[in-house]
Amino acid sequence: MSKANSFSKEELIACGHAELFGKNSPRLPIDNMLMIDRVIKINEDGGEFGKGEIVAELDIDPKLWFFGCHFENDPVMPGCLGLDAMWQLVGFFLGWEGAEGKGRALGVGEVKFTGQVLPDAKKVTYKLTIKRKVYRKLTMGIADATMEVDGREIYSAKDLKVGIFTDTSTF
C-alpha cells in the first residue's frame, strides 16, 4: 500500500483527533495551535540528506488570533509559532512513517529569524529535510527547516528534534 504524499486541512485536523494514522499515532495540535493548512509534499527519501522531506503551507489571514494579541498595535506572528510548526511537521513525518506514541519537541540546535509575518502576508511555506530517523528504544526525528513568507525565507532552524514516546508520565 502506498502512502499519501499530500494532506488537506481536514486530514491534518483528523491527525489531531488520531483519525489519520491510527489511535496510537503522534497527533498534531488542534484548533488555534495547528499552524499548518496543508502538506503539499511528503516523501521518505527526498531532501538534502535523502532521508525524507516535507513541504507545508499556512494561509495568512489578518484575522488570525495571534495578530490581535502578540504586541498591541504591532500585529506580527510570534516567532515561536513558526518554530512550533516546524516541530509539528517533524512529528507528523514520524507518524506518517508509522511511529506510535506521543510526539514531544526535544530541542533545536540553531534558530535564525531574519524577517516577520505581518497581517498583509498571503502564505507561509515550511520546508523540512530530514537528517536522521531513529527507530529503536527511542523514536526520534531530526530535521533542518526553513520558513518562507510569500516566497522570502525568514526563519531557518537546524537540528529540530522530536521524540515519540509511548509513556510520557516521567517526561
Angstrom distances, CA of residue 50 to CA of 55, 149, 151, 160: 15, 26, 24, 17
Predicted local confidence at residue 168, as pLDDT:
87
Q: Residue range 84-97: average pLDDT?
A: 98
At residue 1, does pLDDT exceed 60?
A: no
Predicted local confidence at residue 2, as pLDDT:
61
Contact 35, 82 (CB under 8 A): yes
More confident residue, 171 or 14: 14
Q: Residue range 48-59: average pLDDT?
A: 98
Predicted local confidence at residue 169, as pLDDT:
84
Question: Is 70 an active-site residue?
Answer: yes
Residues 6+ apart with CB under 8 A from 4: 11, 42
**pLDDT per residue as tens digits for the range 92-150:** 999 999 999 999 999 999 999 999 999 999 999 999 999 999 999 889 999 999 999 99
**Active-site residue, from 70, 102, 104, 158:** 70
Share of the chain above pLDDT 90, in %: 91
Residue with cell 516567532: 79
> If you average pLDDT over every residue of the chain, what do you get?
96
3-state secondary structure of 138: coil
Phi first, then psi: give them for residue 141, nearest 5 degrees: -120, 140
Neighbour count for residue 89 (Cβ, 10 Å): 27
Contact 93, 167 (CB under 8 A): no
3-state secondary structure of 50: coil
Residues 6+ apart with CB under 8 A from 84: 33, 35, 105
- The grid coordinates of residue 106 equal 526535544
Q: Give the Cα separation of 24 and 100 in Å (integer).
A: 5
